[in-house]
Amino acid sequence: MFDRILTKLRLRTPKPTRPIAESSASNSLKSDRAVILCGPECDDDITPLICKWLGRLKIPQGIIKYSAIGSSVDRNEFTRILKETIGSKTVVIFVGHGAPDALLGPPLEEGINVQIDGVRFSVLYDESVVGLGPDTLFAFCCYSASRLGDIFVASGNRTFLGYTKKLPLDFDNEQCQRIWESLLHNISLEIINDGVITKKHEDLLRELYDEAYDFFRNGKGRNNDRNITNLMYILRHKKILRRL
């Protein structure tokens, strides 16, 4: 599977960094389904890349897409988008940094900031705004499933998928990057298409990890000088994955 994906993936122009709201179908479409792609870009080596990947997702027709991707994403903008989607069946795909009780963004001069491992971040989403939605949240970040996930699902009929501890990633070379991008795209599109997270989606993500593991252990990725690191990271992801 991953050998085929590697031949098909092509780099595309990244989305604008200014958060925007747009429809993936015609402007006149009225839909009760929405997706928010949220990727706050921080001053590091990881988030600019995964935010670019998030911007490449092609949303199915009939689902209104809101994008909050880039270095200017902040709590006010994300809250505004959440309010706009009230009444819709909404999925959020979040990539970036997380804390046990919050999703994080780049630090702000004014606003709520926290310090994680000596690095400053702004608080983008926490218990105080959980009531705004969404219905479904996939948080591809550290720690979010250790506390925030429980708070999130306790607020109503909601579903969540995230990770309980620090989420290691290895983007050292293009082959590694394409494997991780493919994994993120596959699970995100399945969640967006179904509008919910069930055991089916957890099983799919674990299957994708197994295929990535096989690629680095037995496939073309075994010749990658980062294969051992990626094998360890894949096992780590599977261990700390949590669905609620």
List 40's β-bridge partners, or say none: 70
State the greatest distance between any 2 C-alpha atoms of the chain, in Å, as a whole number. 50
Contacts of 223 (CB under 8 A, 6+ apart): none
200's enclosing H/E stretch is helix 199-217
Residue-level pLDDT, tens digit, the chain, 244 residues: 444 444 333 333 333 333 333 433 333 445 799 999 999 998 888 899 999 999 999 998 899 999 999 999 999 999 999 999 999 999 999 999 999 999 999 987 666 777 777 788 899 999 999 999 999 999 999 999 999 999 999 988 999 999 999 999 988 899 999 999 999 999 999 999 999 999 999 999 999 999 999 999 999 999 999 999 999 999 999 999 999 9
Rounded distance, CA 106 to CA 122, Å?
6
Q: What is the distance of C-alpha 209 from the center of its chain?
A: 16
What's the whole-model pTM score? 0.85
